Every structure is written in structure tokens, then in C-alpha cells.
Structure 1
Amino acid sequence: MSDAPRPPETGSSREFPVRLMRTRLYEQVAEQITTWISQNGLTTGDRLPPERELASRLGVSRATLSQALVALEVIGVVAVRHGDGTVVTGSPGASRIADAIRAHADRLPEIIETRDALETKIAALAAVRRTDEDLARINDALQVMEEDVGAGGRGVEGDERFHGAVTAAAHSRLLARLMDEIGDLIKESRIESLSQPGRPRDSLAGHRAVADAIAAGDAAGAATAMHEHVEMVSDVAVLRDDQR
């Protein structure tokens, strides 16, 4: 009888293991938070403990906890409100939270490409077609964001209003419809971006550059400023390889 080793049988435990995708720390923390929400019977409108307390309970840093909360906000489980804490907005659902977070990360590059293509053209058209009323709406949105950021907020509402005002100033029904179609996806990337340290003020500065070019009737300058703005705000933690 031969002593030569036999090849592993298909389906046996001796097959080479499939490489498993690494779960990042903030993804693990996000799953812990949703488990805690379920175990404690929290429903829509209920508040989570303050971040410092929650980080202590979970044994993680505030930075990791914040990233986990942002990920949960992006997929619709919680809302992080300035001055009001973190509020439950939806059920975690049956699927694993990490899978939902990765699905967001997988589609984000395509969202960014589409947004860049549409909004760069929209900014150029706005510089040519804007009216005095359009400029007033753009400036009002800048003011809303500036006040929110100055008070320590992320400026999400002002950011959304600004891009909506620029889109309206382009006076293109089809482009406006396309922007509306991807509105929810852009909101995901907006929340992700404005939660990065220092990003709200950088985003506000980018908005001002776009607004100045539009006010000056500089189509090429508006397109360049919008492209640079979208490129800057697209640098988000979920797409970086060095996250743990």
C-alpha cells in the first residue's frame, strides 16, 4: 500500500482556506453599537449615550467610535446631530452592518465620478446663466453653512443647500433631474466627507471659490473650482487602505 499523500478531496476540511476579508476596527464597533441598540430595545428617536461614555463602555478611542457612528449614519441607522447627540433613525436590519458599510464603500468611487462629471458642468453653466436671485440663494446657503460650522457643526444642511442652489442656477432641467436621481447617494458621501476633521471649513472655502467664479461669470473658473472641490471632499476615510 502506497504511503504517498493523497490530494485533498473537494469539499473536505483539507482544502486550502478561502481568504477572508479583514474586518476593520470601526466596522466591529459599528456592529457592537447596533447589537447594543437591539439589546436595550432602542427605537427610532431614542438617543445613544454621549460619545465619551459610549467609547468607554466599548473600550475604544473616541476617534474610532466617531468613525463607527459616521458609518452607521451613512447607512441610515443613526443621525449625529450637533448639540443633540446621536439619535437612532432606523433598524440595523438582519444583514451584517459590516456588509452594508462595505457596500457603501464599493459604490462610493462611482458616485464621486458621476458627481464630478455632473457638477463640474453645472457650475460652468451656472456662471453663464445665473440670475441675481440665483446668486442670492447661493450666498444664503454659504451663510447657513458658515454659521453652522462656526458653531461647531458639520454644515451638512448648508452644503446641501449650496449645491442645490448652484444646480438651480444652471437652469438645466435634465441635469437637475440627474442630480436628483443620485441625491441620496451624494448625501451618503456628504455625511462621510463632512465628518472628517477640519473638512467642514475646507469645504466652505471650496464653496466660496465656486461662488466667486459663478458671480464673476467665469465658466472655466467655476468648473475648475467645482472639480477641485469635489476632488477634495472625496478624500474620505472609508476609501483609505490604512484604516484599521
Structure 2
Amino acid sequence: MTDATGPQLLGRLARPRLYEQLVEQLLGYIESAKLRPGDLLPAERELAERLGVSRATLAQALVALEVLGVIDVQHGTGAVLRHRASVASVIKGLREHRSRLPDIVEARSTLEVRLAALAAERRTDEDLAAIGQALDTMQAEIDDGDRGAHGDELFHQAVTGAAHSPVIAQLMAFIGEMVLETRLESLAQPGRPEQSLTSHRDIAEAIRVQDATAAAAAMQRHIELVSDVALLE
């Protein structure tokens, strides 16, 4: 019996993104190799050769798995399996994550730009020391070939502390895990750790000279920079 409204049109299926295809292959490898939590995946060069992709493309897929907690990418060690997950659950998680990234960026723009301005107005010598230490930590990590994620986190924590605004600080803590997702993805982009550190220094200088307008503008530029992540493209 034909529906009175006529035949239903089938929507075109979205073509899986390359990193989604790679994620599926990586999960298949984990399954076939019977890897267990704590086991190392092969080196990136070897994996890239096996899959026939560039190391940059592979790195994007690995970051996607890291964001979802399937693996832990450790500097000097490589990708370590944290837990085995089904392809369906991971792809679903990736698509949900991608859909909320714009909201995370919007929240950061709303909160962190204001925090930078307040930090410029209220910072103490101790706050400046914490900001400087965070910059030094990130520089040392980058010099060591790492992404600088810990120093990046310390910097934003130091700016938040320098604002001396407990309620906004609580809001930042609330979105902390979501900000971590974008931090991992952003710092995995080629050349991004160095670019991020440079923009951190611009923010820090505006805070040091107590120029709230410049601090807010520098933070906004920084958030626009770090929001340019492969999963949004």
C-alpha cells in the first residue's frame, strides 16, 4: 500500500571523513592485534606506511582517538591503548564531539576574553610570576619536541587566577574537560604550538602593562587561532 503522501526520498549518505576511515582502520588493527590497555601501538611512521597516508593525516586520527580517551599519546613513548572501544561508539562520539566544538569556542570567547581584561586590571606580582612560569614550561616542552599542552593549560589557569573572579573561574572549571578536547586538537596542528606560545606572550605582555583592552583583543585573537582545528573543516 502506497503512502498517501507519496514515496519517501532517501537522504544522501554523508561520505565518511578520511580521519573517520582511519579511526575505523586503527580500531580494526587494535582488535586484530589483540592489544590490551597499556600496550603500545606501532610508531607513527610504521602506521602511516601500513595505511598509505601521510603522518600528518594519521596524527589527526590519533588525536581524535586521544580526545575520546581511547589512546594516550605520550611524548617519547608513542600511542598507548587506554581501552578498547567499538567502531560504532567511537564514530558516534567523534561526530557528537565535532558538532559541539563551535559551542566550546563560543564559550571560551565569552569567558576567557573577559578574564584576560580582568587579569590586566587586577593582576599581582605573584600572578605575573605564575603566568611567566607557565610560558617557560610551554617553551621547554616545545623545545623538547612536545606539543606544550601542559604549559598551555597552566597559562590559561594562571590568567584565570589573575582575574580574581571566583564565579567566572567556576564556569571555566565547568567547561574544563571540553576545553581540553580543543587544546589537544589545536596543538596537534603543524606549527601550532609555536604560534600558540607567541599569542600567549602577547596576552601576557598586555596583562603585565595592565592594558585591559589589549589583553582582551589578544585573547580573542588567540581563541580564533586555536579554534582552527581539523575536525571543524
Number of the residue aligned with 1:119: 112
2:98 partner letter: A
Number of the residue aligned with 1:129: 122
Q: Percent identity?
A: 53
1:190 partner letter: R
Unpaired stretches in structure 2, ≥5 consecutive residues: none
Q: Which has the larger radius of gyration?
A: 1
The answer to whether the 8 A contact 1:123-1:223 is kept is: yes
Number of the residue aligned with 1:230: 223
SS in 1 for 2:91: helix
Number of the residue aligned with 2:158: 165
Number of the residue aligned with 1:30: 23
- Identify the match of residue 50 of structure 1 among 43, 46, 68: 43
Distance 2:134 2:168 in 1: 20
1:221 partner letter: A
Deviations 1:87-115 (A, max 9, x none): 11233246342221111110000000001
SS in 2 for 1:193: helix
The answer to whether the 8 A contact 2:105-2:227 is kept is: yes
SS in 2 for 1:65: helix
SS in 1 for 2:104: helix
SS in 2 for 1:80: strand
Unpaired stretches in structure 1, ≥5 consecutive residues: 1-7
The answer to whether the 8 A contact 1:70-1:191 is kept is: yes
Number of the residue aligned with 1:154: 147
SS in 1 for 2:88: coil
The answer to whether the 8 A contact 2:27-2:87 is kept is: no
The answer to whether the 8 A contact 1:206-1:225 is kept is: yes
| TM-score normalised by L of structure 2 | 0.94
1:104 and 2:97 aligned: yes
1:216 and 2:209 aligned: yes
Distance 1:153 1:64 in 2: 18
- Identify the match of residue 138 of structure 1 among 106, 131, 143: 131
State the 1:65 CA deviation.
Answer: 1.1
**How many residues were matched structurally?**
230
